[in-house]
Amino acid sequence: MRDDDIDDLVDGILDALDASDPELREKLRESLERGIDLAMDQPGANVEIQLDLDPDAGPDVVVLDGGRVGPPDDGPREPGPDLTVLDGDADDEHVHVEVRGRTVRARTGRIDVHDSTQAVYVGAAPRLYRVRCFQGALMVLADGSPVAELRHGQTTDVEAARIEVHGLGTGAYAPV
């Protein structure tokens, strides 16, 4: 997990809490960072941060091939359904609004293997991930075959339907 991810997460939480007092913001930031560190230090922990990086961005628009060609048809149209406005009590009204937009997710995970194997990604379609070694030695496997041996500070990008790490060491991974 990158420090930028933690900063974005903490800032998002503080903004959602509307914490404007600088002293309160700093104390909340320290508490959140301590909690995240504790969660990441648990054996087998796989902490994933999901952020809406731009909550004001509108939904993605996709233009599909096909549709009308040429000028609009101003000819006769079939009548649509009859619409009626009903009078009702305010107590009977129920409004449900759902807004969908593009969510950008930062999926950074920790690697902590001690002569064992940890799955980074397993899926039907291949995905590209960046694997980094912080300490020790890590063997990166793509679809069961070794593709890279990493030592302290080294990084590799690997694309496969099954990405695993084996060895004695710690590190991190993230989609590219």
pTM of the entire predicted model? 0.42
Q: Return the pLDDT at 94.
A: 62
Q: Are residues 30 and 102 in the same domain?
A: yes
d(CA 85, CA 57): 33
Q: Are residues 115 and 46 in the same domain?
A: no
Res. 52: pLDDT tops 90: no
Q: What is the residue range of 102's domain?
A: 1-54+97-107
Q: Are residues 103 and 140 in the same domain?
A: no
Q: Please give the average per-residue pLDDT across 149-175, as a whole number.
A: 94
d(CA 78, CA 57): 37
Res. 132: pLDDT tops 70: yes
Residue 86's pLDDT band (boundaries 50, 70, 90)? low
Please answer whether residues 97 and 128 qualify as being in contact, where contact means their C-beta atoms are separated by less than 8 angstroms: no
Q: Return the pLDDT at 108.
A: 80
**CATH number, domain with residue 158:** 2.60.120.10
Residue 74, domain member (yes or no): no
